[in-house]
């Protein structure tokens, strides 16, 4: 990790690291939603096998498993490769350090339907 710029050390100002990718774990939960549908599909197949009158449920179960498996693998692949790329960029120092005073801060609402937003005014 590179030290803060000489500008900061000249004025003896402290700084706070707000976000660093290596301190963030991989967010696997988004891909794990597909596992719920795999379980539901398995239950449908089991019900269709145990009670022959539920043949539609059995085929619905196979459909759930196929599409949920594709979803889970695709989302895991996309999110994990993006996560690893961000860590690779950080470790190879392919990033910018933003220094300044935070202004115009708008926190994420409690309901979580929007990302937080802010601007950094250069010092």
Identify which of 98, 93, 100, 84 has the alpha carbon closest to the alpha carbon of residue 1: 93
**CA angle 16–28–92, rounded 5-degree value:** 50
What does pTM read for this prediction? 0.64
State the sign of the Cα–Cα–Cα–Cα dihedral 43, 47, 48, 53.
Answer: negative
pLDDT digits (tens, 9 = 90+) for 78-117: 999 999 999 999 999 998 887 788 888 888 888 877 888 8
pLDDT digits (tens, 9 = 90+) for 3-60: 555 454 455 556 666 677 888 888 888 888 999 999 999 999 999 888 888 888 889 9
pLDDT digits (tens, 9 = 90+) for 45-88: 999 888 888 888 889 999 999 999 999 999 999 999 999 999 99
């Amino acid at each position: 990790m590179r030290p803060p710029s000489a500008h900061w050390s000249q004025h003896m100002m402290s700084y706070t690291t707000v976000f660093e990718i290596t301190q963030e774990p991989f967010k696997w939960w988004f891909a794990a939603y597909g596992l719920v549908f795999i379980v539901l599909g398995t239950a449908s197949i089991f019900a269709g096998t145990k009670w022959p009158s539920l043949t539609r449920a059995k085929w619905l179960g196979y459909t759930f498993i196929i599409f949920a498996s594709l979803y889970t693998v695709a989302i895991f692949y996309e999110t994990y490769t993006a996560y690893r790329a961000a860590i690779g960029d950080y470790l190879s120092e392919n990033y910018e350090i933003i220094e300044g005073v935070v202004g115009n801060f708008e926190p994420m609402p409690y309901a979580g339907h929007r990302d937080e937003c802010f601007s950094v005014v250069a010092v």
